[in-house]
């Protein structure tokens, strides 16, 4: 798993220590992170964000007036395009071919191949006797067989490497053996998904990449709202140039309503027409956006945290102490306020994250948590530290409200996950995380699923070594699911409670992508999406294969299906697919253009770099979470804050 680049900490914010512990503010950022954006184009006439009519090549030079006839697309390059400057490690490049003779002789496939966990030793969260509740099941067929034989696809590699974890020699042998068997037999082994509870989707996707879909159930694929467009071939609907800044600036947050695509800007929030990109409204904020909630209420309201003022010479890094609610339909800030701690004097509390559940807005951080009424900002509770030194580290929202409560000392923390009454904050149930967990991340509140790195055993910065399926009514552990960091590509922020991505929860299952690994093609990686049962912890028999030179990443649930983004090789545009949560059958919803300029812009918004991806009703919106000053290496390169695609 690859950890996306983190926003530099603000010096005024305390470290993740219990209240009262001494803090030493970190130094201000020395410069932009590696792999950043290049120079943006100047905003068009009419102000920042005002889109220009897209010509045939929407990423080419924008004329003042639309041309009489659209220009012909450029000829396909004779050589593979160079990797974009600042492409993230583990990006969209493909590795060079291995040295001759480097492939091992494949033995017979083993019954426990890639994608299936090894049987765990009896321990925490598992019964001592085999075959009882919570023990992982063993598949009938070895994992690693593609569902259909893959034909080799050749193409010149792009510099940069595959970026994912490489198989161990044993894993390479298993995959090679599986491919050999498939080619000999001439047919793939088809897996059928183990039947689950078949219930309705109870949770939205996890992670900021997915957002939350809109629409009723029962009208689309597998009970969801999404339908297959008449023409899945997309084109660029609009693009918003990256604004010019002199330092790193956070622009986290993007949401969808029936009429608008809403995106955070520089000290402002902007609403754009979903189809055309024309600006519908805009309102300023006193300071920079710090963090946002991905949840949206039924009446199109969401929550944000922002700085109390703009930077000055005397105060270069203002505090993130303002909690506010945005009306995404009306395009205005309904209310904003700060709070003080019950034991911290008059200084406003800073917050690291914010969420929304029902009519409650809850914000958390290293100084404790607070909650407000969504309608008017009335305080429901304030940050406080108990006699035992415990405090609310952060909340997760959606269909229910849950909290990670931190106790103990800095060197020996003790975390408790609680389901809360969203009106009073009273705990409905509690589950104590095992020793050795420094941070816990709530993937879903209904059902309650938590990810953690137990004893720092993940070893890759993903924040995940295990998942915990918890009964929210009783606080009892249903099952603990080991997630080998070298096999699975879920990812959680190192400290925040509700900032996980690359996974989805629905159908009483946890859907995870595997790490990218060698495919049957000479060049390029592939991966799969698999599912774990949240009652038994078993890895179910079905899977969705990305296909050679493609990488699948879940974005969110849609009914009982998963909406996923399919990263393409360097010479192709990406795709959006719907994966049936039971059969794992894939249905293509969108295919982006292969044009060089378009795909180059698309590949800048890699999921690995923490980009925000929202898909709904035949439209895909890709946006950055932060921007920084123009590149000195490629100062004339056009870089975008938002690129939108449509199939209409």
DSSP labels, 278-336? -EEEEEE-SS-EEEE-S---TTSEEEEEE-SS---SS-SS----EEEEEETTTTEEEEE
pLDDT band at residue 507 using 50, 70 and 90 as cut-offs: very high
**Least confident window among 129-138, 495-504, 584-593:** 129-138
Model pLDDT, residue 11: 43
Does the pLDDT value for residue 377 go beyond 80?
A: yes
The per-residue pLDDT for 226 is 96
Tokens of 198: 């078949």
CA-to-CA distance for 197 and 640, rounded, in angstroms? 43
The half-sphere exposure of 10 on its side-chain side, counting CA atoms within 13 A, is: 22
**pLDDT for res 526:** 96
- What confidence score (pLDDT) does residue 97 get? 44
Q: How many CA atoms lie within 13 A of 502 on its CB side?
A: 31
Q: How far apart are CA 558 and CA 581, in angstroms?
A: 10
Instruction: Band the pLDDT of 608: cuts 50, 70, 90.
Output: confident
Structure tokens at 223: 């009970």
Q: What are 228-281's pLDDT values in tens digits?
A: 999 999 999 999 999 999 889 999 999 999 999 999 999 999 999 999 999 999
Q: Determine whether 210 is exposed, middle or buried from the number of CB atoms within 10 Å of its CB (0-12, 13-18, 19+).
A: buried
For residue 217, pLDDT over 80 is answered with no
The two three-digit tokens of residue 634, written as one number: 């490629």
pLDDT above 90: percentage of residues in the chain: 55
pLDDT single digits (tens) 448-483: 999 999 988 888 878 899 999 999 999 999 999 999
Q: Determine the pLDDT at residue 220.
A: 60
Q: Which residues contact 3 (CB under 8 A, 6 or more apart)?
A: 460, 461, 462, 463, 491, 494
With cut-offs at 50, 70 and 90, classify the pLDDT of residue 631: confident
Percent of the chain's residues with pLDDT above 70: 66
In sequence order, the β-bridge partners of residue 568 are none
Q: Residue 517: name the closest of 205, 108, 143 by CA.
A: 143
Do 631 and 610 meet the contact criterion of CB atoms below 8 Å apart?
no
Q: 197-206, 409-418, 427-436, 464-473: which range is least confident on average?
A: 197-206
- What ranges do the domains of the chain cover? 30-105+201-246+520-534+542-648, 254-293+296-396
Kindly tell me the number of DSSP H helices and DSSP E strands found in the chain.
2, 36
More confident position, 63 or 457: 457
The model's pLDDT over 141-192, given as tens digits with 9 standing for 90+, comes to 333 333 333 333 333 333 333 334 444 444 444 444 443 333 333 333 223 3
Q: How does residue 297 score in pLDDT terms, banded at 50, 70 and 90?
A: very high
Assigned CATH class of 254-293+296-396: mainly beta
Q: How far apart are CA 555 and CA 63, in angstroms?
A: 35
At residue 288, does pLDDT exceed 80? yes
Residue 609 DSSP one-character state: G
**What's the pLDDT score for residue 176?**
43
pLDDT of residue 172: 47
Residue 36, pLDDT > 60, answer no
Mean pLDDT of 548-571: 96
Q: Which of 136-150, 293-307, 620-634 has the lowest mean pLDDT?
A: 136-150
Looking at residues 1-24, what average pLDDT do you find?
A: 44
Kindly give the pairing relationship between strand 640-646 and strand 619-623: antiparallel
Q: What is the pLDDT of residue 59?
A: 57
pLDDT at 6: 44
Q: What is the CA radius of gyration of the chain?
A: 24
- pLDDT in the model for residue 56: 43
Amino acid 331: pLDDT: 98
Q: How far apart are CA 112 and CA 123, in angstroms?
A: 21
The predicted structure's pLDDT at residue 568:
93
Average confidence score pLDDT of the chain? 76
Q: Which of 29-43, 54-68, 177-191, 509-523 has the highest mean pLDDT?
A: 509-523
Mean pLDDT confidence for 42-63: 44
What local confidence, expressed as pLDDT, does residue 322 receive?
A: 98
Mean pLDDT of 366-380: 96
- Provide the 8-state DSSP code for 226: -
């Amino acid at each position: 798993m690859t950890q996306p680049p983190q926003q530099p900490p603000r010096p005024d914010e305390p470290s993740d220590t219990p209240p009262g512990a001494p803090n030493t503010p970190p130094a201000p950022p020395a410069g932009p992170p590696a792999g950043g954006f290049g120079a943006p184009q100047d905003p068009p006439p009419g102000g920042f964000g005002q889109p220009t009519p897209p010509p045939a090549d929407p990423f080419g030079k924008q004329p003042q007036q639309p041309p009489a006839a659209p220009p012909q697309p450029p000829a396909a390059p004779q050589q593979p395009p160079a990797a974009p400057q600042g492409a993230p490690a583990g990006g969209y490049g493909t590795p060079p071919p291995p040295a001759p003779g480097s492939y091992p002789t494949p033995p017979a496939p083993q019954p426990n191949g890639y994608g299936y966990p090894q049987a765990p030793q009896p321990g925490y969260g598992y019964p001592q006797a085999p075959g009882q509740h919570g023990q992982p099941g063993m598949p009938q067929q070895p994992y690693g067989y593609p569902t259909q034989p893959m034909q080799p696809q050749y193409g010149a590699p792009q510099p940069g490497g595959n970026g994912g974890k490489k198989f161990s020699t044993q894993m390479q042998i298993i995959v090679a053996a599986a491919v050999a068997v498939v080619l000999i037999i001439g047919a793939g082994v088809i897996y059928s998904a183990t039947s689950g509870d078949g219930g309705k989707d109870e949770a939205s996707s996890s992670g900021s990449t997915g957002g939350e879909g809109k629409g009723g159930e029962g009208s689309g694929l597998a009970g969801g709202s999404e339908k297959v467009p008449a023409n899945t071939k997309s084109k660029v609907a609009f693009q918003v140039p990256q604004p010019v800044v002199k330092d790193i600036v956070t622009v986290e947050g993007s949401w969808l309503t029936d009429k608008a695509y809403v995106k955070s800007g520089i000290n402002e929030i902007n609403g754009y027409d979903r189809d055309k990109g024309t600006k519908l409204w805009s309102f300023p904020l006193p300071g920079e956006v710090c963090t946002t909630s991905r949840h949206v209420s039924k009446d199109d309201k969401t929550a944000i945290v922002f700085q109390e003022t703009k930077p000055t010479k005397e105060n270069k890094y203002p505090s993130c102490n303002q909690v506010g609610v945005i009306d995404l339909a009306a395009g205005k800030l309904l209310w904003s306020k700060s709070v003080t701690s019950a034991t911290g004097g008059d200084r406003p509390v800073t917050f690291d994250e914010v969420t929304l559940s029902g009519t409650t807005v809850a914000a958390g951080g290293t100084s404790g948590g607070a909650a407000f009424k969504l309608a008017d900002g009335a305080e429901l509770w304030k940050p406080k530290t108990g006699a035992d030194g415990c405090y609310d580290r952060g909340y997760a929202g959606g269909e229910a409200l849950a909290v990670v409560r931190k106790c103990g000392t800095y060197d020996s923390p003790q975390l408790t996950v609680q389901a809360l009454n969203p009106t009073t904050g009273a705990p409905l149930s509690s589950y104590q995380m095992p020793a050795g967990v420094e941070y816990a991340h709530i993937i879903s509140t209904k059902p309650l699923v938590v990810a953690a790195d137990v004893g720092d055993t993940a070893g890759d910065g993903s924040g995940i070594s295990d998942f915990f399926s918890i009964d929210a009514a009783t606080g009892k552990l249903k099952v603990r699911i080991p997630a080998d960091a070298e096999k699975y590509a879920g990812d959680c922020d190192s400290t925040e409670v509700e900032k996980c991505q690359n996974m989805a929860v629905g159908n009483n299952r946890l859907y995870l992508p595997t790490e990218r690994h060698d495919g049957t093609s000479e060049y390029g990686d592939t991966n799969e999406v698999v599912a774990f049962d949240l009652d038994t912890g078993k890895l179910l028999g079905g899977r969705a294969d990305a296909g050679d030179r493609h990488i699948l990443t879940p974005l969110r649930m849609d009914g009982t299906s998963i909406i996923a983004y399919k990263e393409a090789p360097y010479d192709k545009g990406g795709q959006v697919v719907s994966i049936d949560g039971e059969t794992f059958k894939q249905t293509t919803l969108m295919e982006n253009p292969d044009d060089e300029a378009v795909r180059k812009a698309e590949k800048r918004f890699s999921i690995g770099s923490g980009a925000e991806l929202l898909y709904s009703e035949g439209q895909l919106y890709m946006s950055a979470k932060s921007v920084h000053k123009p590149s000195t290496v490629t100062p004339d390169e056009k870089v975008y804050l938002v690129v939108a695609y449509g199939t209409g």
